[in-house]
Amino acid sequence: MKIKQIIIAGTLLVSVASFAQKDELKALKKIYAKDEIKGDDLAEYKSLVNKVQPLAVEEGDKVYANFYKCMIPVLESNAIDKTMTPLQIQMQLAKLVSPNAITDLATGLNATLDYEKKTGKKIQTDEINETITSFKPDLMNYAVALGNQKKYKEAAEVLYSIYQLDKKDLETLYYAANYAVEGLDYDKALTYYKELKAANYTGEGTLYYAKNKATGTDESFPLKDSRDNLVRLGTHILPREEKIPSKKGEIVRNIALILIQQGKTDEATGAISEARKENPNDVGLITSQADIYLKANDIVNYQKLINEALEKNPNDPDLIFNLGVTSSNAGKLEDAEKYYRKVIELKPTYIDAYTNLADLILKPDAKIVEEMNKLTTSEKDNKKYEALKVERKKLFNKAMPILEKAHELDSKNEVIKSNLKSVYSFLELMDKTKALKEEK
């Protein structure tokens, strides 16, 4: 008898809790339905959320309790005094928003959308879609701000949460992956890149540009009609278009490079090989596969693939520059010089080609100096010393115009300036040395 009484008492407690929970959910729904929620209403709303969450038992009640909780930062941001200055508003938002809050928001809203799709009752669906549309630009700006502060992992987390709110926006997922790489969070980056690959994301498109007559600057437009309308109105001139190349090769390459970083070379090679079967003429994939061989120090296969890429794109300065680097590393200095000079011919502003070419020309100098230091003061060695000095002078004279051009292109580069100063000093060009020292 006593046991029965205990069970009945327990049942009554559950019933009371259930009724309390239903009442609090109704109260929450009532406050949430208001056009404006601030002050006492907001305080009561937050208090009810704290009360109802531990009491929720049924699936629907749990979903909506969590929905009301995850919306707190949104309601708090809506309650900010809009008469404040933009800077003050931004500072207030910074206190309310965090990567965790945005992740919770995405999780809560998606759970609610999934539940309402399953039940067929769209209670909050329209409201949620409006919230996503309304707050997405602010959340994107927040992610960019985190990136600018070098908080790359947090920026990636925010961008991924934004993507979770809008699964059609694969570009946001792409940037989340890039930020994850910047933040050295390779596990998440790999997950994001694989998701992009599975969705067959290429990132291809067209950007539409026109010059603003008032400011004189080029402006980009996502839609051709938007650009053309302004051109017709006469506010913009000189319309042009720019193709956005496919990012597919880059994505597969990054998957492969992360797998190599994780010691999964076979899986990385397989990922590239699979992609190349589908796109055998994709230069990006060819260079991605070449990168794997380079990482593995397989110079023969690396150069073979780079040459294959060059056959398809013979005037790509980056490809030719990479051939110069690997040729130099393999001790093929004549080939390396040929490649660097070809880069400069194709792209006269390619600074790295100038600096690498100058280093290449001066490479024998260390051996010459070593040989000079071994010589004695005998007449025979003195003659050899003078001959070696002439040889050094030829090297420095050959490297000088190349370093001068590099300095002209980047006068703030201290490494270039230091190397040029050494050349001037050896050649006893005191006026040039003095002028270089006096540069600010």
Most confident stretch, 23-37, 241-255, 286-300: 241-255
Task: Identify whether the C-beta of residue 291 lies closer than 8 Å to the C-beta of residue 265.
Answer: no
Mean of pLDDT values over 73-98: 75
Cα–Cα distance, 183 to 153 (Å, whole number): 5
Q: What pLDDT was estimated at residue 20?
A: 45
Most confident stretch, 9-18, 120-129, 350-359, 428-437: 350-359
Which residue has 């797998």 as its token pair?
259
Single out the residue of 160, 157, 155 nearest to residue 141, CA to CA.
155
For the segment 390-423, what is each residue's pLDDT rounded down to a tens digit? Answer: 999 999 999 999 999 999 988 888 888 888 888 8
Mean of pLDDT values over 78-96: 73
In this structure, what is the dihedral angle of CA atoms 260, 266, 270, 272, given to the nearest 10 degrees? 30
Q: What pLDDT was estimated at residue 222?
A: 75
Q: Which of 91-95, 137-141, 193-197 has the lowest mean pLDDT?
A: 91-95
Q: Which of 35-49, 140-154, 208-222 has the lowest mean pLDDT?
A: 35-49
Question: pLDDT grade, residue 8 (50/70/90)?
Answer: very low
Most confident stretch, 120-124, 141-145, 169-173: 169-173
**Distance (Å) of CA 223 to CA 203, 219, 220, 238, 250:** 15, 12, 9, 16, 25
Reply yes or no on whether the pLDDT at 27 is more than 80.
Answer: no
For the segment 207-240, what is each residue's pLDDT rounded down to a tens digit? Answer: 899 999 998 888 888 788 989 999 999 999 999 9
